[in-house]
Amino acid sequence: MRQAGILIVLLFGFLTVKGQSPFHVGVKFGTQYSSLIYRFDQVFDESQVSNYHAGAFARVSLGRVYLQPEAYFNTKGGIIDEFNYLSIDDPGYFEDFRYQTVDIPILLGYHLVHQANFNIRFYGGPVLSYITVEPLIRNVSDLSIDDLKDNYIGLQLGVGFDVWFVTIDARMESAFNIFIEGSQYSAANRVFLLSAGIKLF
């Protein structure tokens, strides 16, 4: 019984020291909702699909300010849905447009509450998205994969909190046009991400 008590004290002491460390590395995973806001023939639309993401993060704290680079695998996109109201025989098309990326955000944050084993924070910064798997297009015959950029930059803003070694985040991502200049398509991704992470050290 005494040994169990000593182990509990040592565990809490370890967690306290780890919570006070200015440097952390961890893994994260979560869910997201991705909206594709596009323009085709002057028609604007927005549809939403849900996906998952997983990766890793590092955090360097300088008092209440911290820097947090991340890298994770993600799937984004939306639904291109165009109806032809002038023809019953040709109702239009429906395309589930999804592509996979490696996302690298560089986030600068501030701790609103900054305690050893609990904090509340907000943050923001740029995110660079590299497209690793392009969408398979079946229905939109005039949309070429060559029109999709290999990489693009967006912006993330979010809030989060940590309890011991567990970290929870909710953020919005706004990317600009994901198609090259000169394409007849113009689309931007809007992504809401909810994730949980574990600080490994």
List, for residues 158-170, the tens digit of each pLDDT value.
999 999 999 999 9
First to last CA, the chain: 29
Alpha-carbon dihedral sign for residues 171, 112, 124, 165: negative
Q: Give the DSSP H/E element, type plus range, for residue 58.
A: strand 43-62
Q: What is the pTM of this model?
A: 0.79
Q: What is the pLDDT of residue 157?
A: 98
- Region 132-151 average pLDDT: 77
Please report the pLDDT score of residue 92 as a whole number: 54
Measured CA to CA, the distance from residue 37 to residue 46 in angstroms comes to 5
> What's the rounded Cα separation, in Å, for the pair 70 and 55?
8
pLDDT of residue 16: 43
Indicate whether 67 pLDDT > 80.
yes
Specify the pLDDT at position 18. Answer: 45
Q: How does pLDDT run across 15-51, given as a tens digit for each residue?
A: 444 445 789 999 999 999 988 776 655 444 556 778 8
Burial of 103 (0-12, 13-18, 19+ CB in 10 A): buried
197 within 8 A of 169, measured Cβ to Cβ: yes
170-198: pLDDT as tens digits: 999 998 888 888 887 777 888 999 999 99
What structural domains and CATH numbers belong to the chain?
2-199 (2.40.160.20)
What is the rounded distance in angstroms from the CA atom of residue 106 to the CA atom of residue 108? 7
State how far the alpha carbon of 83 is from the alpha carbons of 79, 90, 117, 141, 179, in Å: 13, 9, 53, 15, 22
- Strands 43-62 and 23-40 come out as antiparallel
pLDDT, position 152: 93
